[in-house]
A = this chain, B = another copy of it.
Amino acid sequence: MATIYEVSKLAGVSLATVSRVMNNNANVSDATRKKVTAAMDELGYRPNSIAQSLASNCSNSVGLLVSELQGPFYGPMMSGIENTFRNQGKHLIIAAGHSDEEREKQGIEFLISRNCDALILHVEAVSDDYLIKLSKGRTPFVLINRYISELSDRCILLNNIKGGYLATKHVLEQGHKDIAYISGPAWKQDAKDRLEGHKQALAEFNLEFDENLLFQGDFMEASGYEGLKALHQQTHPFTALICANDEMAVGAMASARDLGLTLPKQLSIMGYDNVFFTRHVYPQLTTINYPINEMGRMAADWVLNQVYQKQTPPLQTLFEPELIVRHSISQQ
């Protein structure tokens, strides 16, 4: 591999000049610029990015920590981020945290030790305090789907209360009065917010929230399955079920079929996230759109703007959910 030294030799200029044309900032005359690029072409020169990083103290890499590399949720997010960075010559180092505190911390440590210029974190298990302390460190980061008031300018969020409200309101508008709810884990903020929105809509329709119609799941498919089974056994009847995410909704659908319920006639089911497979289930799932791809893009823009001082579209931190009507809610 040719080095900058050989290029400078061939072009008959100094190292510094070659470096200048590479970073095309400084004042270089057109004539020498041409000489240099010609030499580069002739040698097939490619700058060594490691050496550049060491000398400039900028690795041009940003770390991304997600809970899972697989699953329907993170793909679009990663995709949005990768897309934005690729055009800017930045690269993405990816790690998975598996929603486990230790592994999330490890992942963050790992990414920092790889000299990432910035981090994009979708973390769940790590504490607020940890993140606040991290924010004092040298590596800037932005959070997706997590709110910490001390770090509010770097939290990219969905308005989950609104989403929860929209979901329940739609079900109510179809005439349902007895609505069961399978929530996410109580310690997760998004789960709490979605439930909060649910209660708001109920209140708006002068309906009381019934604890018996609440099952606490964990956002995984299996808990949707178990949830409906459990709810089906208690005494308060219901005609609709709202699930705090699509995975649980799909689990509930399987459960409903096992219970012999025809969908959506005997039970309406609402999801949340608008994950891509919601169009594939039968009946197609009515759900709330989570613009995760856009939010990923925004996180990338945040980094470009705040860390690399690039021109970007205006930064936005709060995103709005949207109702997606399909066929899983029946008219009552």
Contacts and interface: CB of A to CB of B under 8 A. Distances in A.
A8 B71 CA distance: 46
A68 interface: yes
Interface string A36-79: 00000000001111110110000101000000111110111011
Contacts of A72: 72, 277
Nearest to A70: B75
Interface string A73-92: 01110110011001000011
A319 B280 CA distance: 29
Interface string A250-267: 100100010000000000
A186 B91 CA distance: 34
Contacts of A50: 50, 53-54, 59, 115
A260 to B, nearest CB: 15
A253 B282 CA distance: 10
B110 A94 contact: no
Given A46-B113, A79-B70, A282-B282, A92 B91 contact: no
A138 interface: yes
A113 B253 CA distance: 48
B61 A68 contact: no
A178 to B, nearest CB: 25
A1 B138 contact: yes
A96 B110 contact: no
A52 to B, nearest CB: 9
Nearest to A112: B46
What number of copies of this chain does the assembly contain?
Answer: 2
Contact of A54 (B54, B74, B78, B253): B54
Given A49-B113, A50-B53, A96 B70 contact: no
B76 A91 contact: no
Given A115-B49, A281-B281, A91 B93 contact: yes
Interface string A154-187: 0000000000000000000000000000000000
Most chain B CB within a 10 A radius of its CB, from A70, A79, A138, A276:
A70
A119 to B, nearest CB: 13
A155 B258 CA distance: 44
Contact of A69 (B53, B59, B78, B107): B78
A137 to B, nearest CB: 10
A275 to B, nearest CB: 9
Contacts of A277: 72, 277, 280
A310 interface: no
Interface of A: 1, 46-51, 53-54, 59, 61, 68-72, 74-76, 78-79, 82-83, 86, 91-96, 107, 110, 112-115, 138, 250, 253, 257, 276-277, 280-282
28 contacts: A46-B112, A49-B113, A49-B114, A50-B50, A50-B54, A51-B54, A54-B54, A61-B93, A69-B75, A69-B82, A70-B76, A74-B75, A82-B94, A82-B95, A86-B95, A86-B96, A86-B110, A91-B93, A91-B95, A92-B93, A92-B94, A92-B95, A93-B93, A93-B94, A250-B280, A257-B282, A277-B280, A281-B281
